[in-house]
Amino acid sequence: MSDTLVLYIGSILIFFWGIAHIIPTKAVVRGFGALSQENRRILTMEWVAEGLTLCFVGMLVLATTILGRPPSRASLIVYRGSSVMLLVMAGWTLLTGARTSVVPIKICPVVKTVVAILFFLGSS
């Protein structure tokens, strides 16, 4: 599989994982039960922020891959930096959210790690 294809697959996968993160926000917040208005807003903000971050990482890698021909030092920084960011997010999710009973949150560290590996392999 070509490096470019690996980067495309990873960027699209993490972009849609970000969208899938954002869509159920209202239900996720509701699942926490009675919260103050302030806590509901903070939880919503943080939940959407992670989804937007995943979408941004996906679009950044995609745009860099499409527009950054031939591969450059800057594209290498984008690919490797995105890999590190996803691994940090995967680690954080593993330590916190993945210890809950919510299945998509348990899957989240795996998805982030797989995409981080794809980005790293695509940058080689």
pLDDT tops 70 at residue 1 = no
* Cα 41 from chain centroid (whole Å): 21
- The two structure tokens encoding residue 14: 């993490």
Model confidence, pTM: 0.92
Among 3-17, 43-57, 67-81, 82-96, the least confident range: 67-81
| C-beta neighbour count of 3 within 10 angstroms | 15
Residue pointed to by tokens 């392999």: 121
**Surface-to-core class of residue 45, CB atoms within 10 Å of its CB (0-12 exposed, 13-18 middle, 19+ buried):** exposed
Of 121, 109, 120, the residue nearest 54 (C-alpha): 109
Residues above pLDDT 90, as percent of the chain: 77
- 86-106 pLDDT per residue, tens: 999 999 999 988 777 778 888
Average pLDDT over residues 16-22: 96
More confident position, 1 or 112: 112
- 51-76 pLDDT per residue, tens: 999 999 999 999 999 998 777 899 99
- 28-37 pLDDT per residue, tens: 899 889 999 9
Could you tell me the CA-to-CA distances from 16 to 30, 52, 116 in Å, in that order?
A: 23, 10, 15
